[in-house]
């Protein structure tokens, strides 16, 4: 078998697992595939980030359709904040060439560790058999800016059996975090879902279900803003990006549809531990170099 075929199938299989594990843990495929490509397959960081951005666009576009149909995603909030995420993504894509490779590994490790916090909390809650408590800090009225921009929304919650209405506030702070989310996305080749959810859920007071859905909806546009730059710089290698995009897309569909029925908390704890180990390795690679 030729080297090319070996590398191609390796990328396809690894990306499938990255997509599946990512959706099982509530992470994007990008944040897992970039470390795997750079640490284990020794692929250049920018080539890995470019391929990952393509995978991020594919999974976001594929899953956003379902969220929009279920009316969980708030299209107005998404569109408004995409101004900031896409500006951030452009900044990130232009910065990546000016930042030393080791720094990128350190930043990536820190972002990955931060992204793992919500998943870790969820697993801990499951282990101690605590139902996740209601969300703090939701507002009964919209702030002036949120009202002017018609950012309020509602969705039907089947678990509660009723329609949940929500109002948003602290839009400027949320928007600032969105810019940072875009920056991380363009620089690291990830979807930055964790930061997007932070901005909407913790800062602006959007219910977690809507925040997650709106974040998924926004990720594709954010990634496209930097993917265009990577493409015109010739940093998207079609024979790396194609298997990664197809693999992550298939893996995340598999992870979303089939795995939750099979995988209990034990398997998720195991995968979680693996990703924690990978984040430490990313950090070490950044510190030690090589």
Q: How far is the CB of 219 from another protein (least distance, A)?
A: 9
Residue 68 or 263 with smaller CB distance to another protein:
68
CB of 156 to another protein, least distance (A): 11
Contact flag: residue 94 with another protein (CB under 8 A): yes
CA neighbor of 38 nearest in space, from 28, 49, 29? 49
Q: Considering the rule CB under 8 A, would residue 87 count as an interface residue with another protein?
A: yes
Decide if residue 4 touches another protein (CB under 8 A).
Answer: yes
Distance from C-alpha of 240 to C-alpha of 8, rounded to nearest angstrom: 7
Q: Give the range of 116-124, 227-235, 256-264, 269-277 binding another protein by CB under 8 A.
A: 227-235
Contact indicator for 247, 37 with CB cutoff of 8 Å = no
Q: Could you say which of 39, 41, 44, 71 contacts another protein (CB under 8 A)?
A: 71
Q: Whose CA is closest to 145, among 176, 168, 175?
A: 168
Backbone angles phi, psi at 151, to 5 degrees: -90, -5
Per CB under 8 A, 171 contacts another protein: no
Residue in 155, 261, 247 with CA at minimum distance from that of residue 208: 155
CB of 15 to another protein, least distance (A): 13
Give Cβ neighbours of residue 221 (< 8 Å, ≥ 6 apart).
82, 85, 86
CB of 136 to another protein, least distance (A): 22
**Considering beta carbons, is residue 72 or 112 the nearer one to another protein?**
72
User: Of all helices (H) and strands (E), which one includes residue 184?
Assistant: helix 171-188
Q: What are the E-state strand segments in 85-197?
A: 153-157, 162-166
Asked if 228 is part of the footprint of another protein (rule: CB under 8 A), the reply reads yes
Question: Nearer Cβ to another protein, position 98 or 129?
Answer: 98
Applying CB under 8 A, does 58 fall inside the site for another protein? Answer: yes
236 in contact with another protein (CB under 8 A): yes
Binding residue count for another protein, defined by CB under 8 A? 58
d(CA 59, CA 225): 16
Q: In the stretch 133-152, what mask flags binding to another protein with x, by CB under 8 A? A: ----------------xx-x
Burial label, 4 (beta-carbon count in 10 A; 0-12, 13-18, 19+): exposed
Element (H, E) at 242: helix 238-257
Residue ranges that bind another protein, judged by CB under 8 A: 2-5, 54, 57-58, 60-62, 64-65, 68-69, 71, 74-76, 79-80, 82-83, 86-87, 89-90, 93-94, 149-150, 152-155, 165, 220-221, 223-234, 236-239, 241-242, 245-246, 249
């Amino acid at each position: 078998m030729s080297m090319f075929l070996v590398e191609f199938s390796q990328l396809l299989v690894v990306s499938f697992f990255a997509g599946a594990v990512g959706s099982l843990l509530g992470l994007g495929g990008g944040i897992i595939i970039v470390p795997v490509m750079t640490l284990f397959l020794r692929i250049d960081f920018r080539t890995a980030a470019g391929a990952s951005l393509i995978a991020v666009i594919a999974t976001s576009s594929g899953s956003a359709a379902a969220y929009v149909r279920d009316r969980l995603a708030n299209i107005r909030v998404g569109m408004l904040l995409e101004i900031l995420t896409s500006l951030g993504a452009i900044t990130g894509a232009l910065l990546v060439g000016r930042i030393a490779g080791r720094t990128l590994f350190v930043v990536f490790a820190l972002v990955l560790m931060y992204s793992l916090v919500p998943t870790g909390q969820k697993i801990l809650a499951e282990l101690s058999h605590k139902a996740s408590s209601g969300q703090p800090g939701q507002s009964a009225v919209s702030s002036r800016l949120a009202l002017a921009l018609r950012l309020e929304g509602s969705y039907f919650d089947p678990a509660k059996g009723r329609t949940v209405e929500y109002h948003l506030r602290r839009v400027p702070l949320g928007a600032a975090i969105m810019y940072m989310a875009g920056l991380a996305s363009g620089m690291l080749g990830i979807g930055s879902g964790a930061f997007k959810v932070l901005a909407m859920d913790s800062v602006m007071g959007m219910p977690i279900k809507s925040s997650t859905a709106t974040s998924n909806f926004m990720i594709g546009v954010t990634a496209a803003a930097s993917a265009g730059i990577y493409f015109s710089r010739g940093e998207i290698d079609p024979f790396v990006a194609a298997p990664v995009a197809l693999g992550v897309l298939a893996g995340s569909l598999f992870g979303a549809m089939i795995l939750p029925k099979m995988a209990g908390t034990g398997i998720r704890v195991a995968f979680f531990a693996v990703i924690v180990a990978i984040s430490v390795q990313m950090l070490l690679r950044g510190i030690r170099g090589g």
